[in-house]
Homo-oligomer: A and B are copies of this chain.
């Protein structure tokens, strides 16, 4: 097993370079992030120039936290990978949940996330159009500004479907536990 084969940690670096141009930057709640025009996603930061970054967030892919086996099978059967040629639109949505959420036990969180909020079922409705990768931040260290970063990719014609998806989640009981959220809509436009 090489380090590359195990890469799970991703950096989202915002500044004035990177292949993704920021078309729209929105702060839903909590402190805003500093202004930037472009974002790069990097698994390897050996060539990383932090001085040039306006901000940078990091997150790690991890094991399943809430899905059941049948939900996972349904997701795997329908989902597509990141990096599709036609998926020239992306969204970067970092989220922080409040202390009340993290004080809940596992089955209480599952109850809110799925039985009350249909988070998994809502996501499934938009497959395979919307590809998605979830990154966890909360357990990377003591001082992470967000708990999760979700990265989405889709074709331009699925932009309004993506708007529906995030609106449905934000209207759900789960979102009462969100205390910080930003939303960056991106267009792929060379380096």
A contacts, CB < 8 Å to B: 3, 6-9, 60, 62-69, 71-72, 102-108, 110, 136, 138-143
Contact indicator A143/B3 (Cβ below 8 Å):
yes
A102 to B8 CA separation, bound complex (whole angstroms): 14
Task: Write 21 A-B pairs (CB below 8 A) sorted by A numbering.
Answer: A6-B142, A7-B142, A8-B142, A9-B141, A60-B139, A62-B138, A63-B102, A63-B103, A63-B104, A64-B106, A65-B106, A67-B105, A68-B107, A69-B105, A69-B107, A69-B108, A71-B105, A106-B106, A139-B139, A139-B140, A140-B140
Contact indicator A142/B3 (Cβ below 8 Å):
yes
Min CB–CB distance A106 → chain B (angstroms)? 6
Min CB–CB distance A73 → chain B (angstroms)? 10
Task: Kindly list chain B residues whose C-beta atoms are within 8 Å of the C-beta of A139.
Answer: 60, 62, 136, 139-140
Q: Which residue of B lies closest to A58 (CB)?
A: B141
Task: Kindly list chain B residues whose C-beta atoms are within 8 Å of the C-beta of A60.
Answer: 139, 141-142
Min CB–CB distance A46 → chain B (angstroms)? 13
Task: Kindly list chain B residues whose C-beta atoms are within 8 Å of the C-beta of A105.
Answer: 64, 67-69, 71-72
- Contacts A60-B141, A140-B140 aside, 12 further interface pairs with beta carbons under 8 A come to A3-B143, A9-B142, A62-B138, A63-B104, A64-B105, A64-B106, A65-B106, A66-B106, A68-B107, A69-B105, A106-B106, A139-B140
